[in-house]
């Protein structure tokens, strides 16, 4: 998810900006935004919405095009493109249908919202609330007239007695259902009141008192924010005395009235701008649907590419294998776990096929060379014996008859012939050994001990060479033929010694060292031989050729030793690898358990 956000950060920012402008346009249409509701502002907002929406579509188009080019066209599978197209259509068609239905439903609901019956209910509810408040506030006028009448009539009875006034005013308060009754002078000073001692007295405003000084009619005073309805009236039977009556409204009535006013204003604003609201709603809906479609198509592309890329790689690999190219590898891409396992197993299968092919080629090559060696040995060995007998007879018969001056030359020539016969005989013996390679007899043998025995034997050849053996275990057992494995390590270590000696002929101050490592792992055994000899020189580029029979880098070599080594290791389910390194050579042998 985080990778998807990082990759599409610009698209996400553009989406948020476009969606925010769409909502701002909607709020402006209903006069709830921070931008003033004017035709000019609305035009600017709509033009900005169209520009952003077009930019959003263009950005989505190029992003999808890039994703298709990167993840689909690169793989080139028709099925990949087919599934992407089907997935996109199945996402696009329902989205378009839902969009059309939603816009139609919104338009229908908006029209019903402005139905005549709804408008009538809205208007009537506000009028009822307004009339109810006005009725409560107007009642204070009739109440103060009645209280003033009773007060004027009771002038003699009251006789400015505070207790009598208190009793009288409390009675009037109860009868008239008001909250406060005050008798004040022209200076708004409180003379008598129904308030208790701990209740505060709030005098009327100066303007209200001035209006009733010379007028016997009651004056209604409104103070809506404090939910108070009050009235003031001059008492005719008293000089410079005024009756001030206060009625508390329900604390929520004023709030309800204000909210009703705001609601009705909002209702008519929405009715007036209904077309613009539909447009802004359509823009918001298109933006959201577009980004959801983009996300769906992107997910489809990524999912399909992850799936079909692996399938495509497997197809290409199988075609290459069918053509005999066993060096082919299926790229290890990040995909579903099952496909990753399939890719891994396919690569393992390729490795096994290549290994089996190499072993088969080695066996076939060895078999062919064995037949050739057997025939050569037979054909060469037959004439060697009569040639040797003939040379012996010639030496016996003619050595005394040859002149003294030619005798030395005669014996040298016979010696050369004998040496060449011995060399040919040695070659014939190697041919015979190569052709008569017996099948291995497998037993559990300690590989470390086999190598140690060969080191002890070969150390005598050149004691100036340091041969060291390292092993992660003292005893490492391998199901093997001890004699044949001994021949392998004897041959390889001997080659390393001869390589170091050859290098020492031209360089006196060299490090004469052979390091052998044997490591036992869970499913294989690794043997590494590193020497400081001449290495493989010019043959490093075609290093595998040294395993071919009769391919040799030595002056007097037959080229059969490493071929025999390769055959033995192959028979022991192993592989040998030659590597050219700085100042020497490295040989790796891996035995699969």
* Cα–Cα distance, 375 to 564 (Å, whole number): 18
Same domain, 254 and 369: no
Burial of 45 (0-12, 13-18, 19+ CB in 10 A): buried
Residues of the chain with pLDDT under 50: 75-76, 224, 550, 555
- Whether residue 329 is contained in a domain is answered as no
Tokens of 63: 């992003």
409 with 447, same domain: the answer is no
What residues contact 514, with CB distance under 8 A and at least 6 apart? Answer: 465, 466, 467, 468, 493, 496, 497, 500, 529, 530, 531, 532
Considering the domain boundaries, does residue 125 fall inside one? no
The domain total for the chain is 4
- 450 and 524, same domain (yes or no): yes
CA 535 to chain centroid: 47
Q: Is residue 20 included in any domain, yes or no?
A: yes
Assess whether 234 and 185 both reside in one domain. Answer: yes
Res 349: pLDDT: 81
Strand, coil or helix: 217: coil
Is residue 29 assigned to a domain?
Answer: yes
* Cβ–Cβ under 8 Å, residues 19 and 33: no
Residue 214 maps to which CATH number? 3.30.450.20
Residue 120 placed within a domain? no
pLDDT at 407: 72
Tens of pLDDT along 232-263?
999 988 888 999 999 887 766 666 667 776 76
Q: List beta partners, residue 580.
A: 585
Cα distance between residue 419 and residue 425, in whole Å: 10
288 and 221 belong to one structural domain: no
Whether residue 46 is found in the same domain as residue 168: no
308 Cβ neighbours under 8 A, 6+ residues apart? 75, 77, 79, 80, 83
For residue 309, the tally of other CB atoms under 10 A from its CB is: 21
| Residue range 256-277, pLDDT digits in tens | 667 776 767 666 666 666 666 6
Q: Which pLDDT value is given to residue 78? A: 59
**What is the predicted pLDDT for the residue at 566?**
84
Residue 450: name the closest of 275, 581, 572, 586 by CA: 572
| Residue 244 to residue 236: CA distance in whole angstroms | 14
Kindly report, residue by residue over 161-187, the tens digit of the pLDDT: 888 888 999 999 999 888 899 999 988
Tell me if the pTM is above 0.85. Answer: no
Same domain, residue pair 171 and 84:
no
| Neighbouring residues of 441: CB distance < 8 A, sequence distance ≥ 6 | 481
Residue 416 in domain = yes
pLDDT attached to residue 448:
94
Examine residue 127 and state whether it is found in any structural domain, yes or no. no
For residue 474, what are the domain limits? 443-592
The pLDDT value recorded for residue 443 is 93
Residues 253 and 285 both lie in one domain: no
Pairing outcome for strands 524-531 and 241-248: unpaired
SS3 332: coil
Give the CA count within 13 Å in the CB-facing half-sphere of 266.
Answer: 12
Q: Give the residue from 513, 445, 446 showing the smallest Cα distance to 473.
A: 446
Q: In this structure, what token pair is assigned to residue 16?
A: 């948020």
Q: In which residue are the tokens 């239905």 written?
A: 101
For residue 321, tell me if it sits in a domain: no
| Cβ burial, residue 364 (10 Å; 0-12/13-18/19+) | exposed
Starting from the edge strand earliest in sequence, which strands make up the sheet with 180-185, in order? Answer: 190-193, 180-185, 241-248, 228-234, 219-223
Do 52 and 32 belong to one domain? Answer: yes
């Amino acid at each position: 998810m985080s990778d998807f956000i990082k990759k599409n950060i610009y698209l996400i920012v553009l989406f948020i900006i476009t969606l925010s402008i769409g909502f701002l346009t909607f709020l402006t249409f209903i006069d709830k935004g921070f931008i003033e509701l004017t035709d000019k502002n609305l035009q600017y907002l709509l033009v900005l919405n169209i520009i952003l929406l077009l930019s959003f579509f263009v950005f989505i188009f190029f992003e999808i095009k890039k994703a298709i080019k990167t993840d689909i066209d690169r793989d080139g599978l028709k099925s990949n493109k087919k599934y992407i197209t089907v997935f996109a259509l199945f996402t696009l068609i329902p989205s378009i249908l839902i969009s059309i239905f939603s816009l139609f439903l919104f338009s229908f609901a908006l029209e019903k919202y402005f139905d005549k019956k709804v408008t009538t209910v809205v208007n009537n509810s506000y009028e009822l609330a307004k009339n109810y408040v006005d009725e409560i506030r107007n009642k204070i006028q009739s109440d103060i007239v009645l209280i003033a009448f009773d007060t004027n009539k009771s002038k003699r009875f009251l006789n400015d007695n505070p207790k009598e006034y208190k009793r009288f005013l409390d009675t009037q308060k109860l009868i008239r259902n008001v909250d406060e009754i005050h008798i004040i002078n022209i200076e708004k000073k409180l003379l008598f009141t129904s308030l208790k001692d701990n209740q505060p007295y709030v005098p009327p405003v100066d303007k209200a008192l001035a209006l009733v000084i010379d007028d016997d009619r009651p004056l209604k005073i409104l103070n809506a924010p404090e939910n108070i309805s009050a009235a003031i009236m001059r008492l005719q039977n008293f000089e410079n005395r005024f009756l001030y009556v206060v009625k508390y409204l329900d604390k929520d009535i004023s709030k309800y009235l204000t909210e009703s006013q705001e609601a009705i204003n909002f209702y008519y604003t929405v009715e007036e701008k209904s077309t613009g609201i539909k447009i802004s709603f359509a823009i918001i809906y298109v933006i959201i649907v577009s980004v959801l479609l983009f996300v769906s198509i992107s997910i489809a592309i990524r999912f399909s590419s992850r799936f079909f890329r692996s399938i495509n790689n497997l197809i290409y690999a199988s075609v290459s294998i069918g053509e005999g190219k066993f060096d082919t590898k299926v790229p290890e891409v990040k995909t579903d776990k099952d496909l990753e396992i399939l890719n891994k197993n396919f690569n393992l299968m390729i490795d096994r096929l290549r290994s089996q092919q190499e072993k088969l080629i080695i066996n076939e090559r060895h078999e062919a060379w064995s037949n050739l060696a057997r025939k050569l040995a037979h054909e060469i060995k037959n004439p060697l014996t009569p040639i040797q007998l003939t040379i012996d007879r010639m030496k016996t018969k003619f050595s005394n008859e040859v002149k003294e001056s030619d005798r030395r030359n005669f014996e040298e020539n016979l010696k050369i012939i004998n040496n060449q016969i011995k060399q040919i005989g040695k070659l014939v013996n190697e041919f015979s050994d190569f052709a008569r390679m017996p099948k291995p007899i497998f037993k559990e043998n300690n590989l470390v001990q086999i190598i140690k025995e060969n080191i002890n034997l070969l150390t005598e050849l050149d004691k100036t060479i340091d041969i060291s053996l390292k092993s992660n275990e003292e005893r490492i057992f391998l199901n093997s033929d001890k004699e044949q494995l001994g021949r392998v390590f004897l041959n390889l270590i001997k080659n390393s010694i001869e390589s170091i000696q050859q290098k020492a002929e031209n360089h006196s101050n060299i490090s004469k060292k052979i390091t052998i490592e044997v490591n036992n792992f869970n499913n294989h055994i690794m043997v590494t031989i590193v020497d400081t000899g001449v290495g493989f020189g010019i043959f490093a580029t075609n290093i595998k050729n040294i395993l071919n029979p009769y391919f040799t880098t030595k002056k007097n070599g037959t080229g059969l030793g490493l071929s025999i080594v390769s055959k033995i290791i192959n028979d022991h389910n192993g592989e040998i690898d030659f590597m050219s390194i700085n100042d020497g050579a490295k040989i790796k042998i891996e035995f699969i358990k």
